[in-house]
């Protein structure tokens, strides 16, 4: 089937858009730290059940396991941690704008480490899509309306987060290039590696205290976390890995970066947020860029 990787990347963006709302709702109720760790624990459970039910082959080579573990540490631990730090310093809007540089970073890294090249039309499509995303992100307002200041540390954190996500995709792609790897199996190894790093840190910092009691006292937070972990770490990460299996990393990451565009109808429906003319125009420009990527 043609464009399997591209369609998987768009599906990933849809899933990540939904999980952003779910985890935001859960974080408001119980705190982002509890949600961040619990989502990974739930995802490992879902992936383990999936692997056992379908009898998926987990016999990977040592180098494939190494690349997937390194991908989880670079992408999920380093990338996500610095993204959250950027949120704290410069807010979600500017952080998302900086994260939109991840596809370009991924394309450059893929050129040097994977030997991937993209046609002139493909590069044009990437730039047009990124321009549309930038219009939407710039137009979105912080809530509350701006306690954030643009400081250099926040910008650095955002760029490190973008580089972490790009690097994570490159390392995962190297594992796929060595041989066939099921997407669910690859996601399992990535998330386990992130938990190996994050969970001991939670014990040392004592920020993950009595999680069962916390969630029992706030059942809506548990429901949102369960939903978010299914459509995010479980399905979202799996389809993101499927996308880079069949598509070039730069193009796949560009399509996955359309989360701000896909979220527009979601926030309008869920939060009753009014959409500006610039946001709508940015969405159409991004879609035009996606069309170019499919026609390249």
Residue 144: per-residue pLDDT: 44
For residue 226, give its domain range: 4-295
Looking at the structure of the chain, the number of domains it has is: 1
Q: How far is CA 140 from the centre of its chain?
A: 19
Residue 36: per-residue pLDDT: 83
Residue 175: per-residue pLDDT: 95
Residue 46: per-residue pLDDT: 96
CA distance 206 to 37: 13
Residue 146: per-residue pLDDT: 46
Q: Answer yes or no: pTM beyond 0.95.
A: no
pLDDT in tens, 250-272: 899 999 988 888 888 887 888 77
Average pLDDT over all residues of the chain? 87
pLDDT in tens, 106-142: 988 998 999 998 888 888 888 888 888 888 877 655 4
Residue 97: per-residue pLDDT: 74
Question: Given a cut of 60, is residue 91 above it in pLDDT?
Answer: yes
3-state secondary structure 34-90: HHHHHHHHHHHHHHHHHHHHHCCCCCCCHHHHHHHHHHHHHHHHHHHHHHHHHHHHH
pLDDT in tens, 22-39: 888 888 888 877 888 899
| pLDDT tier for residue 169 given thresholds of 50, 70 and 90 | very high
Contact call for residues 28 and 156 (beta carbons, < 8 A): no
| pLDDT tier for residue 293 given thresholds of 50, 70 and 90 | confident
CA distance 192 to 204: 19
| pLDDT tier for residue 296 given thresholds of 50, 70 and 90 | low
| pLDDT tier for residue 47 given thresholds of 50, 70 and 90 | very high
pLDDT in tens, 190-243: 999 999 998 888 888 877 788 889 899 999 999 999 999 999 999 999 999 999
**Which one is predicted more confidently, 92 or 286?**
286
Q: What percent of the chain has pLDDT over 70?
A: 93
- Tell me how far apart the 2 most distant CA atoms of the chain are, in Å: 55
CA distance 228 to 72: 19
Question: Given a cut of 50, is residue 164 above it in pLDDT?
Answer: yes
Question: Given a cut of 50, is residue 290 above it in pLDDT?
Answer: yes
| pLDDT tier for residue 185 given thresholds of 50, 70 and 90 | very high
Question: Given a cut of 80, is residue 88 above it in pLDDT?
Answer: no
CA distance 92 to 83: 9
Q: What is the DSSP letter of 179?
A: S
**Which one is predicted more confidently, 88 or 16?**
16
Question: Given a cut of 60, is residue 85 above it in pLDDT?
Answer: yes
The helix (run of H) or strand (run of E) holding residue 10 is helix 4-30
Dihedral sign from CA coordinates of 17, 22, 28, 30: negative
Question: Given a cut of 60, is residue 150 above it in pLDDT?
Answer: no
| pLDDT tier for residue 93 given thresholds of 50, 70 and 90 | low
Residues composing the chain:
296
């Amino acid at each position: 089937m043609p464009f399997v990787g591209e369609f998987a990347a768009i599906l990933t963006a849809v899933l990540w858009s939904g999980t952003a709302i779910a985890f935001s709702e859960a974080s408001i109720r119980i705190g982002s730290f509890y949600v961040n760790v619990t989502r990974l624990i739930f995802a490992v459970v879902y992936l383990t059940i999936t692997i056992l039910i379908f009898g998926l082959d987990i016999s990977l080579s040592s180098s494939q396991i190494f690349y997937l573990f390194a991908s989880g540490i670079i992408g999920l631990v380093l990338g996500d941690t610095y993204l959250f730090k950027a949120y704290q310093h410069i807010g979600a809007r500017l952080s998302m704008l900086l994260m939109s540089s991840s596809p370009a970073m991924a394309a450059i890294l893929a050129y040097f480490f994977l030997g991937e090249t993209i046609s002139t039309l493909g590069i044009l499509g990437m730039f047009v899509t990124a321009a549309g995303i930038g219009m939407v992100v710039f137009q979105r307002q912080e809530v509350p309306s701006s306690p954030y200041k643009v400081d250099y540390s926040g910008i650095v954190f955002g760029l490190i987060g973008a580089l972490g996500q790009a690097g994570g995709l490159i390392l995962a792609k190297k594992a796929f290039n060595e041989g066939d790897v099921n997407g669910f199996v690859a996601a399992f190894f990535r998330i386990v590696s992130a938990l190996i790093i994050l969970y001991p840190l939670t014990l040392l910092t004592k920020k993950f205290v009595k999680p069962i009691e916390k969630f029992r006292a706030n059942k809506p937070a548990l429901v949102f976390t369960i939903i978010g972990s299914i459509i995010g770490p479980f399905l979202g990460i799996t389809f993101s890995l499927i996308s880079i299996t069949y598509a070039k990393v730069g193009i796949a990451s560009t399509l996955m970066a359309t989360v701000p565009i896909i979220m527009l109808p979601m926030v309008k429906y869920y939060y009753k947020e009014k959409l500006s003319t610039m946001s709508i125009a940015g969405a159409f420009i991004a879609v035009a860029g996606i069309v170019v990527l499919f026609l390249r």
